[in-house]
Amino acid sequence: MRSPWALFAILCLSYCFGTIVRISSVLVLPELAKEIGIGAALLGFLSSLFFFAYAFTQSMWGSICGRIGPVRACSIGLFIASFGSYIFIFANNSFLLGLSRLFSGLGTAALFIGTLIFAAVAFTSDRYPLLVGLTMSLGNIGTAIAVAPLGILLDTIGVTGVFLCLSSSTALLACILWFSRRYDPYEEKIGYTNKTFAFSDLFKDTRDALFMILSERTLLLIVGTWATTTATIITLQSLWGVIWVETASGASVGEARGCVTWVGIGLILGAISGGFITKYAKGKSNVFILICFCSWISWLTWCALSFFSADIFYFNISGFSVGLLSAFCMVFASSTIKEMVPASKTAAIVGMSNMLNFIAVIILQGVSGIIIGLFPKDALGNYPTIGYETAFGIILLCQLLIYIKIPRGKTLMLREK
């Protein structure tokens, strides 16, 4: 597979498969937990193991990509994810369930970062924003379309059949990438000499990446923008969105789910169109600041609709705009980070940035739950909308403090040419 486009397509397909692996076990965990007698608290912990493994190994995978190339790294990640899905077939206790989620998170963590690093090296810089947008869109499409087909398959061939198919398909993709590894352009473009690494090297790369982010003020602000945007949109989509809309608008559960679907549609379209905007913006800070404030206003509008208990129709429009403009921010931030660091440091910095993204997700989901829980439930057992508005209002305030510090009237670029 000599063509970089063919390799990029396989990597994108792998990333899409990674989202399916993440969703697949979530669909069956609640019922499986009932069968083997697992309580809600333990179930939540077992499910979260995926996200902890995914979040805290992003920097590690970035370093691995930088040392052995993204194609090799993603192949290894897919083999690990395949093993995680295979364990799930035999999971009849909490230990095996947790092990499955842990390996699945560890393996799929390589796919997004590896695809971005491959795109950064294999193609010209002007194409990178478009490829970032395409990668993010495919990931969101995988999330959006996976639930219904997986549900049908589960009803047709059962849990064993589904996870055997997932494990086999993931292993097949891993083999394709492994046998295509000699066509990875990373070695030629970047010039790495070692195809092996020690764990001490990974810690060094992680430390150096974190130090560079913290020492460059503008880079830190861009990373902060990406992290807070990712945290707010994922927390809305995967945790509070449905119940928030249902409580605020009085809509049915189906209508509230439809509203959150509009957020996902906005993310898909925003990632693609955001790639074009970023390409032609050429790193101009004023364009980035404008996009950030438009996204911020869309979130403020969402909270205002909640405060005034608006109709579901307006929530649908607002949800679409929130997804669209958040995607603009994420694509622009990701592309800008790539342009701001030396090429030899891209893998480690992007990996560290993505790790910080998911640490922000974990923190926001936990803190928002604490804040929402401070407010008394109503007669139906629902929390009042003021709790959601307060939790998201705090993160909006943090974003505002970041945006006003981004330097104006300059090109966001620190890379040593």
The parent domain of residue 258 ranges over 207-403
Residue 352 sits in the same domain as residue 303: yes
Residue 411 lies in a domain: no
The string of DSSP letters for 132-175 reads HHHHHHHHHHHHHHHHHHHHHHHHHHHHHHHHHHHHHHHHHHHH
294-348 pLDDT per residue, tens: 999 999 999 999 999 999 999 999 999 999 999 999 999 988 888 888 877 888 8
**Residue numbers in the chain where pLDDT is lower than 70:** 1, 26-27, 30, 39-41, 44, 142-149, 187-200, 380-381, 409-417
Residue 413 lies in a domain: no
Q: Which 8-state DSSP code applies to residue 37?
A: T
Q: Which helix (H) or strand (E) holds 12?
A: helix 4-36
Looking at residue 413, what is its pLDDT?
60
Residue 398 lies in a domain: yes
Burial (0-12, 13-18, 19+ Cβ within 10 Å), 95: exposed
The string of DSSP letters for 55-73 reads HHTHHHHHHHHHHH-HHHH
Residue 123 sits in the same domain as residue 212: no
Choose among 116, 110, 123, 114: nearest CA to 185. 123
The string of DSSP letters for 282-312 reads TTBHHHHHHHHHHHHHHHHHHHHHHHTT--H
Looking at residue 417, what is its pLDDT?
41
User: Could you tell me the two tokens for 409?
Assistant: 């009237």
State how far the alpha carbon of 78 is from the alpha carbons of 24, 69, 87, in Å: 16, 15, 14
Residue 156 sits in the same domain as residue 271: no
Residue 224 sits in the same domain as residue 371: yes
- 115 with 135: CB under 8 angstroms? yes
CATH of the domain at 78: 1.20.1250.20
- Residue 411, SS3 per DSSP: strand
Helix crossing, 346-373 with 385-403: angle to 10°?
150
Domain count of the chain? 2
State how far the alpha carbon of 275 is from the alpha carbons of 126, 135, 196, 202, in Å: 10, 10, 34, 31
Looking at residue 92, what is its pLDDT?
83
Looking at residue 270, what is its pLDDT?
92
Round to whole Å and give the CA distance between 365 and 111: 23
